């Protein structure tokens, strides 16, 4: 079945460091891919998405490119801030992008130190 | 619109009791989803509705769980004869039938079964 695998955390970085959180997926068809963020004490928020191969999603300095050849959707940010401390979830849409059920990875906790 | 609203935010119940949670989605969203998130894990799909029709249920949704969405507006999730293993965050999300923006999640209801 479809699945998402994320790098395990926690990840601890210093402010202004470069961030990469790896995400790979297994899916039939052509899923849409998402990154969600969960700040402490808050609900999940959509960070960015990509709906087809080679699409790049971006938001708030974060980027991820849909790589069909490597079945990956790695999250990157060039310079993290303390306010980026949160749990990040990679997810795929199970029905080809028409907003079906989402399958989530286990999440990666990021802590950014000043 | 104030987003997806879930009530209560927290619920503590004794094992064997019944509990009911409510979700009010974004008014123009046709789809409504329930997910469960346990500590250290990503959200897991439970069920979803398109308008008032419950279109899919996960195997995670045992006979003790029931969800309704009368009139295609708010939804309720009831757990009967709660067990300690039901302790989790229950998340609701809504989505347009076809839309580019993914889900909008509520803040969740945290259930603790003692």
Of B43, B99, B108, the CB nearest to A99: B99
Rounded to an integer, what distance in angstroms lies between the CA atom of residue A106 and that of residue A88? 9
Q: Are B67 and B46 in contact (CB under 8 A)?
A: yes
Q: What is the pLDDT of residues B92-103, one digit of tens each?
A: 999 887 655 678
Burial (0-12, 13-18, 19+ Cβ within 10 Å), B66: middle
Residue B95 to residue A101, Cβ atoms within 8 A? no
The string of pLDDT tens digits covering residues A45-73 is 999 999 889 999 999 999 999 999 999 99
Across the interface, whether the CB atoms of B91 and A104 are under 8 A apart is answered no
Tell me the pLDDT band of B1, cut-offs 50, 70 and 90.
Answer: low
Q: What is the reported pLDDT for A93? A: 85
Nearest-Cα residue of chain B relative to residue A51: B100
Helix, strand, coil fractions of chain B, as percent rounded to 5 = 5, 50, 45
| Secondary structure (3-state) at B52 | coil
Of the candidates A43, A93, A103, which has its C-beta nearest B105's C-beta? A43
B59 pLDDT higher than 90: no
Average pLDDT, chain B: 91
| B45 vs A51, A89, A102: nearest CB | A102
Least Cα separation, residue B44 to chain A (angstroms): 7
- Cα–Cα distance for residue pair A86/A88, rounded to 1 Å: 6
| A87–B contact, CB cutoff 8 A | no
Omega within 30 of 0 (cis) for the link into A52: no
Residue with tokens 């008014």: B27
The mean pLDDT of A82-97, rounded to a whole number, is 85
- CB neighbours of residue A84 within 10 Å: 20
């Amino acid at each position: 079945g479809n699945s998402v695998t994320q790098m395990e955390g926690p990840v601890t970085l210093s402010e202004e460091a470069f961030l990469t959180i790896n995400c790979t997926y297994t899916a039939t068809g052509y899923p849409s891919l998402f990154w969600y963020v969960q700040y402490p004490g808050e609900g999940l928020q959509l960070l960015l998405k990509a709906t087809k191969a080679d699409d790049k999603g971006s938001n708030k300095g974060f980027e991820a490119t849909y790589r069909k050849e490597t079945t990956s959707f790695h999250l990157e940010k060039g310079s993290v801030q303390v306010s980026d401390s949160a749990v990040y979830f990679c997810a795929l849409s199970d029905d080809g992008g028409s907003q079906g059920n989402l399958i989530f990875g286990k999440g990666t906790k990021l802590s950014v130190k000043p | 619109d104030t987003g997806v609203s879930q009530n209560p935010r927290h619920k503590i119940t004794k094992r064997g009791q019944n509990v009911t949670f409510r979700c009010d989605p974004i008014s123009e969203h046709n789809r409504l989803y329930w997910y469960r998130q346990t500590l250290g894990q990503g959200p897991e799909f439970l069920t979803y509705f398109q308008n008032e029709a419950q279109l899919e249920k996960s195997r995670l949704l045992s006979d003790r769980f029931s969800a309704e969405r009368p009139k295609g507006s708010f939804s309720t999730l009831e757990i009967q004869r709660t067990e300690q293993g039901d302790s989790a965050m229950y998340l609701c999300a809504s989505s347009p039938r076809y839309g580019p923006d993914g889900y909008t999640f509520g803040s969740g209801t945290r259930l603790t079964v003692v």
